[in-house]
Structure 1
Amino acid sequence: MQYRTLGRTGWKPSEIGFGSWGIGGDAWGKTDDTEALAALHKAIDEGVNFIDTADVYGDGHSERLVGQVRKERSEPIFIATKAGRRLNPHVASGYNNAQNLTAFVERSLKNLDVESLDLLQLHCPPTEVYSMPEVFGHLDTLVQQGKIRNYGVSVEKVEEALKAIEYPEVKTVQIIFNMFRLKPAEEFFAAARERNVGIIVRVPLASGLLTGKFKADTKFDAQDHRNFNRHGESFDQGETFSGVDYETGLQAVEELRALVPEGTTLAQFALRWILMFPEVSTIIPGAKNPAQAVDNTAASQLPPLSNDTMRRIQELYTTRIRAQVHSRW
């Protein structure tokens, strides 16, 4: 495992982390806690020291699993969680309420069984929140109180990321970035580098499309967002298949197969592509079982991709994908 720098936090995260939305059990179909815990342990065995979770993943279930595993390990593990999506309705004004944010943080502290959160991220708040300095003042207060050590944001849009890093204490930005979503590299990465902001990449495999395991007739569980949120019915459409039309994505994947080196899975290839961007601090693919955890972490050991391969992926994005996603996120 290779390690990078997470902005100004001083932390050196594994370049392949662990995204724990899937083990929460509420948006990726059926889960098994025994397998989920084994996946977390296996990832740590492979050198992972960065785990991302959120208070709404399984209504806190994901946080509790992550907290349990950290207590069972001796290695230092950096845990990032998120807050805000528990608001009902999920509106900007709810973030500008110190009591709301404090209650969310205290619940996460209990779920994770810690005295202070390593990293708290606002969880894809409405765009207006990024123009509300009072919200970030509330986060500053939580730092002063010792309830959180660092804070950042998880965003839907590049424009939100650019606005967020104007606040001096925003140390990280979590953003969707993969071979089907290139806009962050074009319009955000340089600004993050200039301000020394850590970049956490989520949805790196486009909700599994970039594993190459799906077909036109693949069936997803009723509780799986890939079944119920393809058009943004429950939350932002960009979180499901990165906002790419499913059939278009399948066609693009077939073109990508020709670029994958022998002995490498398409998923590993997709993760290695992301690692070609030095501004990326860590990637947080999900894993529901140990085998998936091993497959993900192996990407850290792959050699760099060639300039020709990078060019051909850019061309594929430009011709097949860009029109669907670039202007939206």
Structure 2
Amino acid sequence: MNQRPFGQAGQAVSEIGFGAWAIGGSWGDVSESDAKAALHAALDSGTTFIDTADVYGDGRSERIIAAVLKERGGPRPFVATKAGRRLDPHSAEGYTAANLNAFVDRSLKNLETDCLELVQLHCPPTEVYYRPEVFEAMDAMVTAGKIRHYGVSVEKVEEGLKAIEYPGVKSVQIIYNIFRQRPADLFMREAQDRGIAVIVRVPLASGLLTGKMTADTRFAADDHRNFNREGQAFDKGETFAGVPYDVALEAVDRIRSLVPQGVTMAQFALRWILMNRGVTTVIPGAKNAEQAKANCAASEVPALTESAMATLRAMYLETIAPFVHHQW
């Protein structure tokens, strides 16, 4: 597993991390045994970065991670969680020092640790990025020793660019994949110049870029790919990267011919993300051990050819960009 420096944190992490949303909830049923097996497999394959959130299964994801790490013992991987989405309503006014401290205290308990390695503001309303007092509250938690570092998880490129103006922000989590290429235009360079770690989520466009979905694929009632296609529960860009399902399926068919023999489409899509040196780690999810191992193997896939990269860029500009580029 290749490693990349985590911005200014003074350590390196695996370039393929483990996204722990699926083992928490909103991806259909995942048993606790499968969830633990997936995480064990990722760690056995060299993953040293785990991303979770306090709302993933209302803490289930954090608790499963704590249990697995207790079972394994030894050096602790870099565990990042998030705070803010427990607010109801989810408004900028709710991002107070008192609320953020309460969320962090709950995550400390769930993850069974006395200091959280990284806490990310969890896709807060855009107005939050213009409230210095929010970032001052995070600075205070660093000073108090509750958290070691903090960052933000953003929906929009503009939010990421605003966030890195705050000196305490050490990382930005953002959607970046073959169907969401805008971050490469400016954001990645700015983050790299400032020494900001970049965590890439939704790398497979909610599974579309595995190449396994068809027009007949059906999703469970509690799977966000069923209930959030138009943003009914949260930003629609989190589901299928915001691309209309039928448009995405046509694009996936065009991508198939570019995938080298012996490489899965998912591994190809992950390797495309890693071609950008501004990326620190990418966090695909996994529901079982087999998926986790396959994701980690993407670290060893050879670099994509210039021709393949150019073809994917042209396809994006022609087919996908009209639906997503201006929105996020």
**Cα drift, residue 70 of structure 1:** 1.6
Give 3-state SS (helix, strand or coil) of 2:8's partner. Answer: helix
Q: Which runs of 5 or more structure 1 residues have no equivalent in the other structure?
A: none
CA drift at 1:90? 0.3
CA shift for structure 1 position 311: 0.2
**TM-score normalised by L of structure 2:** 0.99
Cα distance in 2 for residues equivalent to 1:14 and 1:167: 26
Aligned to 1:293: 292
Give the TM-score normalised by the residue count of structure 1. 0.99
Corresponding residue for residue 91 of structure 1:
91
For residues 31-73 of structure 1, the C-alpha deviation after alignment (integer angstroms, 9 at most, x for no partner) is: 1100110110111000001000000000000000011112222
Q: Is 1:229 paired with 2:221?
A: no
Determine if the alignment matches structure 1 residue 22 to structure 2 residue 42. no
Which secondary structure does the structure 2 equivalent of 1:81 belong to?
A: strand
2:205 matched to 1:202?
A: no
Tell me if 1:309 matches 2:308: yes
Q: 4+ residue runs of structure 1 moved beyond 6 angstroms? A: none
Deviation at 1:187, TM superposition (A): 2.1
Question: Which amino acid is 2:14 matched to?
Answer: S
Q: Give per-residue Cα distances to partners, 1:106-137, cap 9 Å, x unaligned.
A: 00000000000000000000000000000000
Question: What secondary structure does 1:252 align onto?
Answer: helix
Rounded to whole Å, the distance in 2 between the matches of 1:234 and 1:195 is 34
Q: Secondary structure at the match of 2:57?
A: helix
Which AA in structure 1 matches 2:99? N
- Larger mean Cα displacement after TM superposition, 166-175 or 74-83: 74-83
Structure 2 equivalent of residue 143 of structure 1: 142
Shift of 1:10: 1.2
Question: What's the secondary structure of 1:80's corresponding residue?
Answer: strand
Aligned length: 327
Q: Which amino acid is 1:4 matched to? A: R
Query: What residue is the counterpart of 1:125 in the other structure?
Result: 124
Q: Supply the AA of the counterpart residue of 1:22.
A: A
Instruction: Please report how far the alpha carbon of residue 22 of structure 1 lies from its aligned counterpart in structure 2 after TM superposition.
Output: 0.3
Q: Which runs of 5+ in 2 are unaligned?
A: none
Question: Identity of paired residues, percent?
Answer: 61
Cα distance in structure 1, aligned partners of 2:75 and 2:255: 37
Partner SS for 1:9: coil
Residue of structure 1 in register with 2:192 after alignment: 193
Partner residue, 1:80: 80
Structure with bigger helix share is: 1
Distance in 1 (alpha carbons) for counterparts of 2:68 and 2:13: 17
* 2:67 matched residue in structure 1: 68
Please, what is the CA RMSD of the aligned residues?
0.6
